[in-house]
Amino acid sequence: MNLHGWIDAYLNHLRVERALAKNTLEAYGHDLAQLALRVGDVEPGSIDRKDVAELLVDHIAAGIGARSSARHLSALRGFFRFLVREHVVPSDPTALVDRPRLGRRLPRFLSFEEVERLLAAPDASSDRGVRDAAMIHLMYASGLRVSELVGLRVNDLDRARGVVMPVGKGSKRRLVPVGEVALSHLSLYLDNVRPRELRSPPTSSLFVSRGGRLSRQGFWKLLKRYAAGAGITTPLSPHKLRHSFATHLLRGGADLRAVQAMLGHADLSTTEIYTHVAHDQVVAAHTRSHPRA
Pick the most confident of 9-13, 131-135, 238-242, 281-285: 131-135
Higher pLDDT, residue 182 or 45 = 182
- Catalytic residue at 18? no
110 φ/ψ angles, rounded to the nearest 5 degrees: -90, 155
Mean per-residue pLDDT, 184-189: 96
Mean per-residue pLDDT, 54-77: 80
Q: Which of 225, 224, 252 is nearest to 112 (CA)?
A: 252
Confidence of residue 292 (pLDDT cuts 50, 70, 90): low
Assigned fold of 112-283:
hpI Integrase; Chain A (1.10.443)
**What pLDDT was estimated at residue 278?**
53
| pLDDT, tens digit (0-9, with 9 covering 90-100), for 71-121 | 888 889 999 999 999 999 998 888 877 776 655 566 788 888 999 999 999
CATH of 3-85, one of 1.10.150.130, 3.40.50.1820, 3.30.2090.10, 1.20.58.760: 1.10.150.130
- Catalytic residue at 199? no
Q: How many CB atoms lie within 10 A of CB 141?
A: 22
**What pLDDT was estimated at residue 283?**
60
**pLDDT over 70 (residue 14):** yes
Higher pLDDT, residue 206 or 65 = 206
Q: How many CB atoms lie within 10 A of CB 135?
A: 27
Contact 269, 104 (CB under 8 A): no
Catalytic residue among 72, 137, 240, 242: 242
- Catalytic residue at 265? yes
Averaged confidence pLDDT in the chain: 86
**What pLDDT was estimated at residue 175?**
93
**What pLDDT was estimated at residue 199?**
67
Contact 58, 36 (CB under 8 A): no
**pLDDT over 90 (residue 19):** no
Catalytic residue among 71, 169, 224, 251: 169
- Name the residue type at position 140: Y
Q: Which of 103, 75, 121 is nearest to 236 (CA)?
A: 121
Catalytic residue among 81, 117, 251, 265: 265
Indicate the domain borders of the chain.
Answer: 3-85, 112-283
Distance CA 282, CA 276 (A): 10
- Catalytic residue at 239? yes
| pLDDT, tens digit (0-9, with 9 covering 90-100), for 264-280 | 888 887 777 777 655 55
Higher pLDDT, residue 7 or 198 = 7
- Catalytic residue at 22? no
Mean per-residue pLDDT, 29-44: 89
63 φ/ψ angles, rounded to the nearest 5 degrees: 85, 15
Catalytic residue among 72, 145, 243, 248: 145
Confidence of residue 187 (pLDDT cuts 50, 70, 90): very high
Confidence of residue 285 (pLDDT cuts 50, 70, 90): low
Contact 22, 99 (CB under 8 A): no
**pLDDT over 70 (residue 262):** yes
Mean per-residue pLDDT, 119-142: 95
pTM: 0.64
**pLDDT over 80 (residue 153):** yes
- Catalytic residue at 221? no
Catalytic residue among 4, 153, 239, 251: 239
